[in-house]
Amino acid sequence: MRAILLVAAAIAACAPLPAQKPVPARDPPDSVVPATIGVAVRQESSNVVVAAVAKSSAASGVRVGDVVLRYNGEAVVSPRQFYRLVVDSAPGSMARLEVWREGAVRTLEVPVRELDTMPRA
């Protein structure tokens, strides 16, 4: 009897598991859509400072001379990093900028737009 139980246990251990539904793979996006907020920055000593705001930009609350402290909660340490954060943002979303202006920290909401990358003739 004991041998039969051992054989039955061995057979059960080798039996295939019940079929499980495969986890669907997430499709990667068809393309990457770079974004902009219409602001140019430059490095001034250890600060990232707004150098220009596009006239057609919706970033009207941002001013030349603002020191950019954070972009969507992430500390901004260089112009390159700032541009990477902006380009990686989703067009149609809102970016939250923390800037230093006139001795105070200000929080600004800026719309993120699709960057126009079409070649011009």
CATH number at residue 108: 2.30.42.10
For residue 10, pLDDT over 90 is answered with: no
Beta-carbon count within 10 A of 18 CB? 5
Asked, for residue 24, whether it belongs to a domain, the answer is no
What is the tens place of the pLDDT at every residue in 50-60? 999 988 776 76
Asked, for residue 27, whether it belongs to a domain, the answer is no
Asked, for residue 65, whether it belongs to a domain, the answer is yes
In terms of residue numbers, what domain contains 93?
35-114
What is the tens place of the pLDDT at every residue in 95-121? 999 999 999 999 999 999 887 766 666
For residue 45, pLDDT over 90 is answered with: yes
Number of domains the chain contains: 1
DSSP 22-73: PPPPPPPPSS---EE-SEEEEEETTEEEEEEE-TT-S-TT--TTPEEEEETT
DSSP 19: P
pLDDT at 79: 97
For residue 73, pLDDT over 80 is answered with: yes
Asked, for residue 108, whether it belongs to a domain, the answer is yes
How far is it, in rounded angstroms, from Cα 112 to Cα 88?
10
Asked, for residue 11, whether it belongs to a domain, the answer is no
